[in-house]
Structure formats: C-alpha cells, structure tokens
Amino acid sequence: MLEPTKYTEVRRILQRYVVEVVEKWQLCPWARLGDELAIELLLGEPPLEVWVAALDHAFSSPATRVAMLVAPELVTDFSAFHTLRNQVSDQRPAYGIAEFHPTAKLDLATPARLVPWLRRSPDPLLQCVPLALLDSVRSKSIPDRMQQAQIIQGLAKPPRDVAAQLAETNHATVAEHRVEIEAALDDIARDRDAAYARVSINACR
C-alpha cells in the first residue's frame, strides 16, 4: 500500500473541517468539496508571487468556482496573514478573498467580531471566489416589483444583506453549540498533527 501523499493528507484534514464543522453547522455557503472546488497546496513559506500563481492555477479550469490555497507549513499570526490576504487581493482584485487561520480567537460580542473564529481552519488558507459569482448571489436578494410595492406600503420588510443574515445566523449557532464545535475543531487539530508527522509536513504549530 502506498504511503499517503502530503496533498492527500492536507485535503483529508481540510475535508474533515469542511464537512464536520462548516457544512454541519452551515457556517459558509462557499466551502464545498465537489468538482467546483480547487485546492492548491503551498508548502514551506510561500512568498506573495506563489500565492498569486496558485490562485491563477486554481482558476485555470473553467469548472472552478471556489479555490482554497492551503499553506500547512506557513508560520504566521492572524494579523500578518490578514496583511498577506490584502496583498493577494491587490494583485487579483477580481476575486473575493477571505483568510482562514487556526489560531483565531473566539469573540462572541457581535456577529462581526465572531467572523475570524468561524474561519478557524486546520491550516492557514485563503478562500477565493470570483466577485462576479458573489455579486450574482447577492442579486438574488433584490425584491421584485410586487415586493417593492409591499415594502413601500409598509406591508413587507426590505430584504436584508445576505452576508449580514449569515453573520447573525452563525452567531446564534455558535452561541448555542460552541462546546460541540470546539470539540470537533480540537479533534481535527489532533488528527492533523499526527497525520502531518507521518508524511513529513512541518506543521505550522
């Protein structure tokens, strides 16, 4: 039997996170592991140009709708990784890019302040989605003419921003199920550390 490759193990750990945390608790509409998701593995301490090249490679396939650029060996804190995310975004402004980091702290004070913890992935990663795709999803919340008339007459409430709705829903979910979600994250982290040691990935923590 062949020894698992580094890519196989990184993808397996990421899949656990997506399925057992993100999908189970419906935390993000973009984290899917079908043919539309491309995963790029960046080993070592990749410089900016490597991140940009990985994004370009991920979307070189017309089937790709979402890309995850994963750097399991990157040693960086949340603030520095956020700066890197901004640099990649400046290079590729046609994409919405979100940073995920394993050391993000829990802050339940507001839905907005919870967002970094919701992105507590096993490894540092950038999730990239074309802005055109994001805009098409947001446009679905625009009311039709009948709904607009009802809103004007006070018979209906205006639609709320999709991102704001998701943030509030996630906040309520974590407030109720925090212990279960943290237990899943901790179990995945233990699995990650053992798996990466087996395949000689220098884990970032």
Q: What is the pLDDT of residues 25-74, one digit of tens each?
A: 988 766 666 678 899 999 999 999 999 999 999 999 999 999 999 999 99
Q: Are the beta carbons of 113 and 168 closer than 8 angstroms?
A: no
Q: How far apart are CA 151 and CA 147, in angstroms?
A: 6
Pairing of strands 66-70, 37-41: parallel
Put the strands of the sheet holding 95-100 in their side by side order: 37-41, 66-70, 125-130, 95-100
Token code pair at residue 185 = 């994250």
Q: How far apart are CA 118 and CA 135, in angstroms?
A: 22
In whole numbers, what is the pLDDT of the chain averaged over residues? 85
Q: How far apart are CA 15 and CA 122, in angstroms?
A: 10
Q: Model confidence at 133, in pLDDT bands (50, 70, 90)?
A: confident
Token code pair at residue 107 = 């802050």
Q: Give the DSSP H or E segment for 13.
A: helix 6-17
- Specify the 3-state DSSP secondary structure of 168: helix
Task: Give 100's strand partners.
Answer: 125
Beta-sheet strands, E only, within 27-136: 37-41, 66-70, 95-100, 125-130
Pairing of strands 125-130, 95-100: antiparallel
Token code pair at residue 86 = 């901004």
Q: Where are the domains of the chain?
A: 6-198
pLDDT tens readout for residues 151-173: 344 555 545 566 677 788 889 99
Q: Structure pTM? A: 0.84
